[in-house]
Structure 1
């Protein structure tokens, strides 16, 4: 009877130790703390005299962690041996058999064990800590000698070992899952049914620019610093998941704690208890900010491409119109020049002829605008100081814009020169400033004109259409009504205008666009409704070594007596050119058909010193005619006359057999100078 009571009392103490250990298992998440506190609980009720736990490394050859209770300094030697992989016999037998090992007299059976004296008069019970085939380590306890073969005693030890192994497996799984979450590119959050945050992965803290130890758990989700539209939508979707148990996906714009915009594509996933009731909601979010930026950039590029294609198509049409218009202007300008030569400078007829010439030149300027838009014009580019052009523009524009509109200027004199046509730079400034004035109309406002030199690194380039380097930045700003966002893609379209009838044709900005592109620059527009618009124009700065004197002073029109074969399918133009050339001494044979001209040349190839041919003619172009003539007589110089020369790039003229190009409408002095230069080069 006494023995049974003693046995029952012992089992009660052991059972209490087991229960205490089980309570500990649910609280601890650190393996070292778990095994140490488990050993302390096991001896705390006096159910066991000693307890130690050793956790093995991944290979099972060494003990990496130990927990002990009920020992003095004796376990220090044991710990050192375990770390070195020297296991006591009880542990070896346990690992070999994977079963409970009972050593009834450790002091006699384990003489080489550092703990043999600690176990004197007691029984050692050892078993493996294993869960679902995975071995974690070993548990060893000592009990009174009389209970070494009690089944209940064995079952309780095995139960403790099984519970500890389960806890260790759970901790390891949670650790592995945490590692996966911490290295996941996604942001994982757990939100309870009161919509309070209970967990957020490391990437979530990083994404939102929160400190890793930020106090966010238990706080309402979504966070206070999120923008209101995002918060309203997130809360609406959380309520829907809670009410229906359905997964919801959403993509929305939010921000980090510093206010930087972030696009998140989130899935709100319900997680249920075993009984089917909702436990919590997992919010898994992917950062789609870069994709959104890429899509925005792609859409912008597509719009620019469509714009460029549209401008190119319209430019082709404009170039054809300009060519025909040149043929109309040529006789007007040429005949007025001849009339002025024949009339007295003091006569009213001379003044009338000069007015005709002036009107013709104005028409030529209009053609140049059309050709600039179509990118087919051949303007005289020269090193240009934009400061001088702007000074002329501002002086002229000030007299035409009402005084209630303020014009400010910040023109840096140290801005370098650009290779440009000064007339076209003048057009740019006049068109944009006029548009700025119309944007303010009757309201008081301010127009700002800024010129400065800027160095653009690769990261600073405002568009893909210019390269890094030094640029003259010409900026025009106004405080007008601004341009609606939906119209920004149309402002460079020809004839597009928002002005009232009579206030503009809509060709101004399209011309500006063509000029800037022809100068290998770019134009960027910024506008905000109610605040105004800014046009930034970037033109490449030229090096000093690029600068050459491209203008020559001509005091007298050069003359000559050589023989010229003149070919132009337009009868009035051919007749006019013949008169011009004969007045300065040349002998001219005129042909209005390239085929007839070729026959004429074949019959007498040495009867001519120079060929002047129009470019665009029926049956045969000027280039084709030049090729045929060169095949007959290779040394004959040839000049091509054209309204636009997209096929006559300067570097290819020699290869095409062309010695020079005359741009229509031809001015008499220009033609005389070009002819004389070509003939003199042949003579050497």
Structure 2
């Protein structure tokens, strides 16, 4: 049906081509006219900008020249007011004034006149006429003015030699501010006219120096181009510091000279293109008639097989023995993303997945050798967009005589016919099932590892509790200057480092306390980078730029340490041949909500952590999956695929976002945006000097570690409390039931063999609901924090405890009003 419609429409194709060619010619002409009109506007705009810039430059230069004149007049005014100079002879006055104007070609003459206009002194040689200037307009203007006013006159003719000039004059006044005359300089018009002439703006241009009223003072006009009156384009600029204007003008016809030349060239090009399009349309119409005759002969045979070939649900490809595609159906084209024409330009092995090419060649050679006649195998194609397509292929060898419609080339002899089924979804489902099984096993391993790490941390905290507790007691009992006190101090430092290590273990096992506090970012990043330096290969250069020194975020220092360490570790692995690792930290204000690669942030203030490498980069198809849990590009056993997933989770929990930019072969950059919080209040240093003390209150202490119970009893006794210790939670509960009113507070461990701390607290508060209970744990987590609040615990402390923490906690809960 489609071929019949094509045959019916064939007679109209020449008309379509002719109309299309006419439309193209019309569009070319319209485009040429539009470009010419637009070029005219741009040419005039460029001319206006040039004249505006030139007017500004001339105005600045004129101002500098006149400022020199004004400076001479000011110095002359000062000299004239000096009483010692008023007795000078005319020759001395002339010598002074001539000395002032030496080297200033723009000044013809400097004159000092009294209040009536009579000349007191002049730079002109003695013996020349000295007419009065009292009738000059600028003299009258200065006489009416106040202060040391400056006036630029209208164009003048010199009273001495009749040459054109103009005057710059300032007002002279006595000590009481009365008008005492003027100091006047005659400025050479020829100086400015020569300056304007040297600029050489070309024919039809003019430069004028005007007073603010529009009266021209100096004017230079180049010879006009032609005799007819032309339109003029001009620019006007104020001379800084003087009541003068500079006007630069040019005939519009001169400005458009280059445009007219280019327009004529464009007209010639347009005519040539139009003629070429007409000839091309004529040739195409002739060619279409010839193709119509050929297609008519092919159409009858093509009709019989095309419907089946094009509508088959499986992909079908006909190939030559050389591996060229002779024909492909739409199903096959959709399968691998190439059109029929593109496949004709490619070979079968050009779209085959590179690793499968040798095996596919071997199957084809076996088929061409004569045994067997058909063969079936699985292979992979590379889709046009880059993803891999799995295919189940059945291929047969047949004898054929095929005529290729595109180039009329005949393929005689044997051909290969392949039917191709897309099995990508089936294999992906199987692969997904295997991955889920692997992820489940990996998750179980991590869960077991987390539980194991948490248990070790709990037991280790109990050991550290005794070490730090007794260490503190020994430290305070020794003389401040003794070596023994210094030794114990080092033990306490080591214990505190071990305590920090336990906190990191708990964070790894996802059992850390959930509290978020203001954390100063720069020291955490710096510390992590220092830890990383020792593991860097010699081929990798480290570049650190930490600018946000006093910036805080609400979070946990261990989390920030994990973010930096994971990003830097990945960057190092991406540079097997060496490179540069850059770590930068800076503040950034986001003015509006912004969508990043992972997450959406803003508006607000953020701190940006940037980690960049010059390594292998990340391919686009991998980039979109890097934050998926368990996704890794490393070999089996070399990575869990949880590093970037953990980074993404921490950043999202903090209300931030991640922006990733990568180019294959050039490197990758991660930008982490975290919202900024206020700095914490300064710690109360007096706490360590004077801990709050008790007043004989009875405190029930429960822990299954003998050393910790003994230590707690000693510390509480020193703080002024009466401790009652138990190693068994069940025994402690029995003692409480015997005398509930005896105790004022309870301190209990959480993990104990008979009753947990929460269970003990529930039993105690069921008997006496107002009794405050402090729960201690070396294995805390947000769930325990929530359960402690639900059980009515007054405080939750992390082991190992310090004397100060215990003293403050007891002081706070006992100071609360009891219901």
Give your verdict on TM over 0.5.
yes
1:277-316 CA deviation, whole Å, 9 max, x = no partner? x975321223455666666666555544433321220121
What displacement does 1:449 show? 2.2
Corresponding position of 1:422: 557
Corresponding position of 2:498: 363
Question: SS in structure 2 opposite 1:649?
Answer: helix
What displacement does 1:581 show? 1.6
What displacement does 1:401 show? 7.7
Contact 2:399 2:414 in 1 (8 A): yes
Contact 1:419 1:519 in 2 (8 A): no
Distance of aligned partners of 1:329 and 1:31 in 2 relative to their CA distance in 1, 3 Å threshold: closer
Task: Kindly indicate whether residue 686 of structure 2 is the aligned counterpart of residue 560 of structure 1.
Answer: no
Contact 1:564 1:610 in 2 (8 A): yes
Corresponding position of 1:406: 541
Contact 1:609 1:637 in 2 (8 A): yes
1:296-340 CA deviation, whole Å, 9 max, x = no partner? 666555544433321220121121122111111111111121222
Structure 1 CA distance for aligned equivalents of residues 552 and 427 of structure 2: 40
Corresponding position of 1:315: 450
Contact 1:451 1:475 in 2 (8 A): no
Moved more, 626-635 or 222-231: 222-231
Structure 1 CA distance for aligned equivalents of residues 788 and 717 of structure 2: 27
Counting only pairs closer than 5 Å after superposition, residues 525-536 of structure 1 correspond to structure 2 as none
Task: Kindly indicate whether residue 783 of structure 2 is the aligned counterpart of residue 656 of structure 1.
Answer: no
Contact 1:416 1:542 in 2 (8 A): no
Corresponding position of 1:142: none
**5+ residue gaps in structure 2?**
9-297, 401-412, 617-631
Contact 1:266 1:283 in 2 (8 A): no
Structure 2 CA distance for aligned equivalents of residues 414 and 247 of structure 1: 73
Distance of aligned partners of 1:220 and 1:513 in 2 relative to their CA distance in 1, 3 Å threshold: closer
Structure 1 CA distance for aligned equivalents of residues 476 and 758 of structure 2: 33
The one of 362, 385, 389 aligned to 1:263: 389
The one of 611, 615, 632 aligned to 1:475: 611
Question: SS in structure 2 opposite 1:191?
Answer: strand
* TM-score calculated relative to the size of structure 1: 0.58
What displacement does 1:682 show? 4.2
Corresponding position of 1:449: 583
* TM-score calculated relative to the size of structure 2: 0.49
What displacement does 1:605 show? 0.9
Corresponding position of 1:636: 771
Structure 1 CA distance for aligned equivalents of residues 571 and 336 of structure 2: 43
What displacement does 1:519 show? 7.5
Contact 1:240 1:246 in 2 (8 A): no
Task: Kindly indicate whether residue 381 of structure 2 is the aligned counterpart of residue 254 of structure 1.
Answer: yes
Structure 2 CA distance for aligned equivalents of residues 198 and 434 of structure 1: 51
Corresponding position of 1:326: 461
Distance of aligned partners of 1:346 and 1:309 in 2 relative to their CA distance in 1, 3 Å threshold: same
Counting only pairs closer than 5 Å after superposition, residues 433-512 of structure 1 correspond to structure 2 as 446-450=580-584, 460-461=597-598, 475=611, 477=613, 487=635, 489-491=637-639
Corresponding position of 1:501: none
The one of 308, 316, 320 aligned to 1:177: 308
Contact 2:716 2:723 in 1 (8 A): yes
Distance of aligned partners of 1:354 and 1:519 in 2 relative to their CA distance in 1, 3 Å threshold: farther
The one of 639, 651, 676 aligned to 2:811: 676
1:441-467 CA deviation, whole Å, 9 max, x = no partner? 9x9864332558899999944xxxxx7
Structure 1 CA distance for aligned equivalents of residues 648 and 713 of structure 2: 37
Task: Kindly indicate whether residue 482 of structure 2 is the aligned counterpart of residue 347 of structure 1.
Answer: yes
Moved more, 662-671 or 345-354: 345-354
What displacement does 1:361 show? 1.4
What displacement does 1:173 show? 5.9
Distance of aligned partners of 1:652 and 1:520 in 2 relative to their CA distance in 1, 3 Å threshold: farther
Structure 1 CA distance for aligned equivalents of residues 514 and 376 of structure 2: 59
Distance of aligned partners of 1:641 and 1:344 in 2 relative to their CA distance in 1, 3 Å threshold: same
Corresponding position of 1:244: 371
What displacement does 1:643 show? 0.6
Counting only pairs closer than 5 Å after superposition, residues 42-441 of structure 1 correspond to structure 2 as 174=305, 176-178=307-309, 180-181=311-312, 184=313, 186-191=314-319, 196-213=324-341, 216=344, 221-222=347-348, 224=350, 226=352, 229-242=355-368, 243-256=370-383, 260-270=386-396, 280-289=415-424, 302-378=437-513, 381-394=516-529, 406-409=541-544, 413=548, 418-422=553-557, 425-426=560-561, 429=564
Structure 2 CA distance for aligned equivalents of residues 175 and 270 of structure 1: 20
Task: Kindly indicate whether residue 745 of structure 2 is the aligned counterpart of residue 617 of structure 1.
Answer: no
**5+ residue gaps in structure 1?**
1-27, 36-166, 462-466, 494-508
Structure 1 CA distance for aligned equivalents of residues 540 and 421 of structure 2: 51
Task: Kindly indicate whether residue 697 of structure 2 is the aligned counterpart of residue 569 of structure 1.
Answer: no
Structure 2 CA distance for aligned equivalents of residues 236 and 322 of structure 1: 60
Distance of aligned partners of 1:658 and 1:339 in 2 relative to their CA distance in 1, 3 Å threshold: same
Question: SS in structure 2 opposite 1:606?
Answer: helix
1:548-582 CA deviation, whole Å, 9 max, x = no partner? 84875352222222321111121111111111122
Contact 2:568 2:611 in 1 (8 A): no
1:386-424 CA deviation, whole Å, 9 max, x = no partner? 334324555787799899863113557599864332256
Moved more, 470-479 or 623-632: 470-479
Distance of aligned partners of 1:234 and 1:328 in 2 relative to their CA distance in 1, 3 Å threshold: closer
Structure 1 CA distance for aligned equivalents of residues 596 and 808 of structure 2: 47
Structure 2 CA distance for aligned equivalents of residues 612 and 572 of structure 1: 15
What displacement does 1:180 show? 1.8
